[in-house]
Amino acid sequence: MYKSDKTFFIGRPNIGNRDDFYRRLDSIFERRWLTNEGECVLELEKELSRYLGVKHCVAMCNGTVALELAIRANGMSGNVLVPSMTFIATAHALKWQEITPVFVDIKPSSLNICPDSVQRLIDENTTGIVGVHLYGRPCDIDTLSDIAERNNLKLIFDAAHAFGASYKGEKIGRYGNCEVFSFHATKVFNTFEGGAVTTNDDELAKKLRLMKNFGFEGEDTVSHIGINGKMAEVNAAMGLTNLEQLEDFIEINRVNYHAYRGGLRNVPGISLIHYDEDEANNYQYIIICIDQAQSGYSRDDLKEYLAAHGIIARRYFYPGCHKMEPYNSLDPHAGIRLPATEAYSKMMLALPTGTQICSQEIESLCDLIKSFKSRQ
């Protein structure tokens, strides 16, 4: 019998030491400097570049604006290849700039963008590829980089899930032309709202800095079209505070992940995604795949059952961007070339983790899932 009377959510924020945050907030008020290249933002950019091992980190107001500026600063236009199995912001960041997102299928083994499908979909209007490190597990970066180079395409990564993760021993953040992070409240590292573009390219970083600040080069000199993409000091203060405890948050996630692994072992039809333990992972996404032929129930049945017990699981990502508007109307048959996306988007379910839940609660949650099985 499941006993917890707590409600568990996906993406409940991790919150660092409050006193440290309040202290930083006080110093912001003391300085009377709330935004525009403030001390906290500059310090956060420095700390993040160091943590990620990348030359430039340009902090922004959120991940979506960071994506839009990354796409624009790289000069993408026409058609850009992007997986449909992602959060809708990845597709919108392209379409918002009149670029056509051409949806690419995922590889069942990794659930990330399939390089073979990318290769097949390149045409004379293609200018770039946006890869997504889904659930924080890196794309096949080497193969995608080769394809981009051979076809003279820009390559950027939506790394919103992958803060702290590594690829072949090096932190995500340095790959492609640039990478884009989100520091939204639900991510492993948050600044309430926030984001960043990271790159080793000096010219690109300079352009991004101009673009996020209306194109201002000097006091009254504007040298580029720009918008307001700046991160405010209060957000950076939250970031500096949370960064100090990031490794603790990741360790909690790692312990939780292994509790789920133990609890869901040998449950027919349920498999937990694998993280490569030889790499750094943030373990922020506890994703199970429900194979109805073996489990006897669908992903949606399980989601509903868990919700009735106060466990708010989420379908990451359903039904795929190609089934959402405006993309569905623009290309109603896209699903035909996206069989893996269509299949997996009906099977994947995200379960609660982070500082809100402990190993005992996870054990009990897994027992609940097992009891659902035996009820069928």
Ligand X SMILES: *Cc1c(COP(=O)(O)O)cnc(C)c1O
Q: Which residue lies nearer to ligand X by CB, 90 or 145?
A: 90
Measure the CA–CA gap between 362 and 253, rounded to whole angstroms.
12
**Please, where are the H alpha helices in 113-183?**
115-121, 141-150
Measure the CA–CA gap between 233 and 35, rounded to whole angstroms.
5
**In the complex, what is the shortest distance from the CB of residue 192 to ligand X, in angstroms, rounded to a whole number?**
10
Q: Which residue lies nearer to ligand X by CB, 113 or 204?
A: 113
101: part of which helix (H) or strand (E)? strand 100-104
Cα 140 to chain centroid distance, Å, stands at 16
235: part of which helix (H) or strand (E)? helix 233-244
Q: Which residue lies nearer to ligand X by CB, 85 or 210?
A: 85
How far, in Å, are 26, 61, 108, 228, 340 from residue 201 at the CA level?
35, 21, 33, 22, 35
Residues lying near ligand X in the complex (CB under 6 A) are found at 62-64, 86-87, 89-90, 132, 158, 160-161, 182, 184, 195
Q: Which residue lies nearer to ligand X by CB, 134 or 357?
A: 134
Q: Which residue lies nearer to ligand X by CB, 80 or 160?
A: 160
Token pair in block for residue 231: 């991160």
**In the complex, what is the shortest distance from the CB of residue 217 to ligand X, in angstroms, rounded to a whole number?**
27
Q: Which residue lies nearer to ligand X by CB, 90 or 127?
A: 90
Which of 2, 71, 24, 79 has its CA nearest to residue 232?
24
**In the complex, what is the shortest distance from the CB of residue 196 to ligand X, in angstroms, rounded to a whole number?**
10
Cα 312 to chain centroid distance, Å, stands at 19
Q: What is the dihedral of CA 24, 28, 31, 34, to 10 degrees?
A: 160
**In the complex, what is the shortest distance from the CB of residue 27 to ligand X, in angstroms, rounded to a whole number?**
26
Task: Please say whether the beta carbons of 302 and 372 come within 8 A.
Answer: yes
Taking CB positions, which residue lies at the least distance from ligand X?
A: 63
Q: Which residue lies nearer to ligand X by CB, 184 or 209?
A: 184
**In the complex, what is the shortest distance from the CB of residue 314 to ligand X, in angstroms, rounded to a whole number?**
11
**In the complex, what is the shortest distance from the CB of residue 180 to ligand X, in angstroms, rounded to a whole number?**
8
Task: Please say whether the beta carbons of 106 and 340 come within 8 A.
Answer: yes
Q: Which amino acid is at 305?
A: Y
**In the complex, what is the shortest distance from the CB of residue 78 to ligand X, in angstroms, rounded to a whole number?**
22
Q: Which residue lies nearer to ligand X by CB, 89 or 365?
A: 89
**In the complex, what is the shortest distance from the CB of residue 112 to ligand X, in angstroms, rounded to a whole number?**
12
Which of 129, 154, 161, 149 has its CA nearest to residue 204?
154
Task: Please say whether the beta carbons of 3 and 358 come within 8 A.
Answer: no
**In the complex, what is the shortest distance from the CB of residue 2 to ligand X, in angstroms, rounded to a whole number?**
29
Measure the CA–CA gap between 64 and 182, rounded to whole angstroms.
8
Q: Which residue lies nearer to ligand X by CB, 16 or 63?
A: 63
